[in-house]
Structure 1
Amino acid sequence: MKAITDPDHALDRGLQAIRTQYDVTQDFPPQVIAAAEAAIRRTPTSHADRTALDFRTLDPAQSTDLDQAFLIEEAGADLILRYAIADVAWFVDDGDALDIEAWKRGTSFYLPDGKAPLYPTILSEGAASLLPDGPRPAVIFVVRVAPDGGARLDGVERAIIRSRAKLGYETLKPGDLPPLFDSFARRIRDAELRRGAARVDPPEQEVVALPDGGHVLGFRQRFPAEEGNAAMSLATNLAVAEALLEHRTGLFRVMAEPDAQAVARLRHSAAGLGLAWPREMTLAQFEARLDPADTRAAALMLEIRRAGEGARYTPYHPGVVPWHAAMAGTYAHATAPLRRLADRYVARAALEVANGRPVPGGVSAAFEKLPQIMAKADAREGQIDRAVVDLAEAVMLGGREGERFSAIVTDLDERGARIQLADLAVVARVAAPGAIPGDRIEVRLAAADAARREIRFEPAA
């Protein structure tokens, strides 16, 4: 992580400009706030009492919009995951002011100087968040995981729960996690490897606000407990997706494999980076072996992510098995309803089918409309994230025009060579005729313009 020196407050001005450009606001219209205030006064009437169960949450330490709480138990050779999800649908009615506003936003947006939540904070960080300060309404997914890692949905219920602890990735101490946490994660990971999944997250640039008001730019650190947390979410989403597919309904997350031409380019890139990719090994098998801590592997992982068409949402279509190549399975998003609009509807559908009831017409209709809404929100989120990083890079490099930097070429396309600076978390492009992925080159900073969020490098003479 590299501290950003910003005595002129160019970063603050730039972040405000990004909020204005992309219409990212933390504020809500008065009617939405009024609807939220009315919603938090509702007394749950359709929920079983599960407050005696030992649920806890696991998130970044500073997070307060807590979507999930968990409990893992043994049942013979199987493991039972009780994954409690914030019951957002209890607070939000179809067509009310909260619902209308959520459809406009699609998702929560996160910036270094604060987030723009999907729902007002009195809900998303208060009454609906699974914080350990009192009972909360939740939807509990009961997921049975066999010794081979196969996951199926054993039940879904609305319940009142009480989280016993708010655990943070950065602040975990020995004994904080339940004894079965690691063995559960191993089962899910082993099952992924057997079916050829490639759920490997490449390192991502991020800008982080510091307590003293400053900021740093770096690659996001991934903590060991995140793997286990991701395994619980994955198992739940796979189990929910299979249950919905069996009942011929749902909204699924799908992603195609890179085509043969793209895979051929990736093989050339791997060779250029000095990474051995045996001819008989598939892309998924190879990607599963990559270590994001290795800068060469990280560079290839980023290229792999760009090689395919990207993930998208699709409703159920008769005779079509929705497929997510990176997960190597049928997959849905159900576990983050405070932060993603689509999850609220998927959770509602799962609750109904698991209890032998028909999916409400309004939910089925939403499945047809949500792909477009979520695609727009995903694109906007990506643009905001990129704009923030571009701004931070320009601010950090401001005043260093003319300096030389060592860089590694990560890939090539029609716009030139993509490079990663050797000593800074900066990714850029440069004209580098004859370069191949893996080459180390010297570049000179030609321009750094914070107002335009642009940096420009040239080959060093």
Structure 2
Amino acid sequence: MKAVLDPDCALAGGLAAIRDQFHVPEGFPPEVTAAAEAAARRAPTAHVDRTALPMVTLDPASATDLDQAFAIETSGSDLLLHYAIADVAWFVEDGDPVDSEAWKRGATLYLPDGKASLYPKVISEGAASLLPDGPRPAVLFTVRVAPDGEVKLESAERALVASRAKLAYETATEADLSPQFTDLARRIAEAEARRGAARVDPPEQEVVRRPDGGYALAFRARHASEDRNAALSLAANLAIADVLQAHHTGLFRVMAEPDAAAVQRLRNTARALGIAWPESQSLVAFRTGLDPADPRQAALMLAIRRAGQGASYAPWHAGTLPWHAAVAAPYAHATAPLRRLADRYVIRATLAIMAGQPVPDVVEQAFQRLPKVMGHADALGGQIDRAVIDLAEAVMLSGREGETFAAVVTDVDMRGARMQLADLPVVTRIDAPGAVPGTELRVRLVGVDLANRAIRFEAVADAG
């Protein structure tokens, strides 16, 4: 989801310019809409009836493109996660207009004022969405979770499911959720800790109005149910990755560890934010103690999230372990097919394997093509994210020209010095000859250019 929320529409004009700059689509071509409307009327005929399972969904309150529904039951000392994922492939056929358009987009693009969906609403927020207004076709994964958090995919089948409730992070209570929900999340978290996983989920930023009429960037409180819900997807994706790896096929999400330079930048950022990080403590050990409810620690969590060498997609290849450093294991994306193109093909491959059938050629071929398509979608989403954050920072600082701020240089490269403000979640560049990482500065805001989403500081004095 987006890193910045804008409930008061303070960014409206700038967001329109971002949409124009990055050619964010406003809708779908008529032939795609017509094909989607016809597909949405397709009755599920290859699905077993699993409507007796007490499924619920858990998402942001405003979400209507619901990829996932779940039910959890006890099986001896294990837990069984019944995880229903929207059966997008039932509505989208290879080579049809909806499929062709999805290959052009790759993923849903999110901005604070709305999204550009991967699929037309009649599918993504209607026929395929796991809304609680009647049975929906889904792919039902059953994942066995052992007491130590190890996961195994027990089955995968096309099924009709019926969500009992559309729960929201903001309002869901313990009574609304399965009694095993918290236990399952705990098991997955403990397994992550044993693996040395460095996954971090910072809270979202939002633009809020200050008492003086200006704006500030703040962090929205993250609900415990969000983290626990993320554990369900993690469990399913890890179990699916194991199956794909064992059968020498699939598409994996891969990411290298942050390099030494990135870790040093994070240490400098921690220093700028006044957060103690002992030299003897690793990044993995350090991040587990960060509190997202503390604005400065939340800002550092966001920096850690952005510090990796970049996640990408890779097809299975003999002799190569598809490793994702943040989860410290092979990992696949399968649980958000309404929002990511790649997930639809990972799901199809897993269905075939679990049914004892060969993976269709069209899916194997897609695994070779998808890294480029998904890489482009990731890059575009990242550029839009950065532009939105730049805009939010400019709006936040507008009217504060002439003020001075404390900052710390986090790194220096060919383009000059990058600094982190000590009291605001702002990272920007400054002309500071002779500065080295860790240099403390006093800087004055000398310009804000809302049209170009730019802010400009000058060094006042070295406070170090």
Mark yes or no: TM-score above 0.5: yes
Distance 1:207 1:83, change over 3 A: farther
Distance 1:79 1:10, change over 3 A: closer
1:382 aligned residue: 382
CA distance in 1 between counterparts of 2:6 and 2:106 reads 31
2:340 aligned residue: 340
SS at match of 1:175: helix
1:411 aligned residue: 410
Q: 1:277 deviation in Å? A: 3.4
2:22 aligned residue: 22
Distance 1:91 1:208, change over 3 A: farther
Alignment root-mean-square deviation, CA: 2.8
2:456 aligned residue: 456
CA distance in 2 between counterparts of 1:362 and 1:128 reads 22
The one-letter code of the counterpart of 2:247 is H
CA distance in 2 between counterparts of 1:407 and 1:163 reads 51
CA distance in 1 between counterparts of 2:428 and 2:50 reads 51
Report whether the alignment pairs 1:226 with 2:222.
no
Q: 1:288 deviation in Å? A: 2.7
Structure 2 matches for 1:295-306, cutoff 5 A? Answer: 297-298=297-298, 300-306=300-306
1:127 aligned residue: 127
Q: 1:35 deviation in Å? A: 0.6
1:428 aligned residue: 428
- C-alpha distance after superposition, 1:239-278 (max 9, x if no partner): 0000010010000001111335554665676677553436
Which moves more between the two structures, 106-115 or 145-154?
106-115
SS at match of 1:331: coil
Distance 1:344 1:179, change over 3 A: same
CA distance in 2 between counterparts of 1:250 and 1:4 reads 38
Which moves more between the two structures, 293-302 or 85-94?
293-302
1:238 aligned residue: 238
Report whether the alignment pairs 1:138 with 2:155.
no
Q: Would you say the 8 A contact 1:205–1:220 is kept in 2? A: yes
Q: Would you say the 8 A contact 1:107–1:118 is kept in 2? A: yes
Q: 1:79 deviation in Å? A: 0.2
CA distance in 2 between counterparts of 1:396 and 1:234 reads 35
Q: 1:302 deviation in Å? A: 4.5
CA distance in 2 between counterparts of 1:132 and 1:428 reads 45
Structure 2 matches for 1:40-119, cutoff 5 A? Answer: 40-119=40-119
SS at match of 2:153: strand
SS at match of 1:140: strand
Distance 1:395 1:282, change over 3 A: closer
Structure 2 matches for 1:148-159, cutoff 5 A? Answer: 148-159=148-159
Unmatched segments (≥5 aa) in structure 1: none
Q: 1:20 deviation in Å? A: 1.3
CA distance in 1 between counterparts of 2:215 and 2:276 reads 34
SS at match of 1:322: coil
SS at match of 2:448: strand
The one-letter code of the counterpart of 1:13 is G
Which moves more between the two structures, 293-302 or 393-402?
293-302
SS at match of 1:289: coil
1:314 aligned residue: 314
Q: 1:427 deviation in Å? A: 3.6
Question: TM-score w.r.t. structure 1 length?
Answer: 0.90
Distance 1:169 1:3, change over 3 A: closer
Q: Would you say the 8 A contact 2:447–2:456 is kept in 1? A: yes
CA distance in 1 between counterparts of 2:172 and 2:368 reads 41
- C-alpha distance after superposition, 1:342-362 (max 9, x if no partner): 001001111110111110000
SS at match of 2:119: coil
Distance 1:26 1:353, change over 3 A: same
Distance 1:392 1:276, change over 3 A: closer
CA distance in 2 between counterparts of 1:373 and 1:332 reads 16
CA distance in 2 between counterparts of 1:5 and 1:110 reads 15
CA distance in 2 between counterparts of 1:161 and 1:152 reads 22
2:34 aligned residue: 34
SS at match of 1:74: strand
CA distance in 1 between counterparts of 2:252 and 2:65 reads 24
CA distance in 1 between counterparts of 2:252 and 2:215 reads 37
Q: 1:145 deviation in Å? A: 0.3
CA distance in 1 between counterparts of 2:338 and 2:119 reads 7
Q: 1:456 deviation in Å? A: 1.1
- C-alpha distance after superposition, 1:368-401 (max 9, x if no partner): 0000100100010011111112122223333332
CA distance in 2 between counterparts of 1:237 and 1:2 reads 26
The one-letter code of the counterpart of 1:234 is L
Structure 2 matches for 1:358-373, cutoff 5 A? Answer: 358-373=358-373
The one-letter code of the counterpart of 1:107 is A
Unmatched segments (≥5 aa) in structure 2: none
Aligned residues: 451
Distance 1:438 1:76, change over 3 A: farther
CA distance in 2 between counterparts of 1:10 and 1:263 reads 34
2:397 aligned residue: 397
Question: TM-score w.r.t. structure 2 length?
Answer: 0.89
SS at match of 2:170: helix
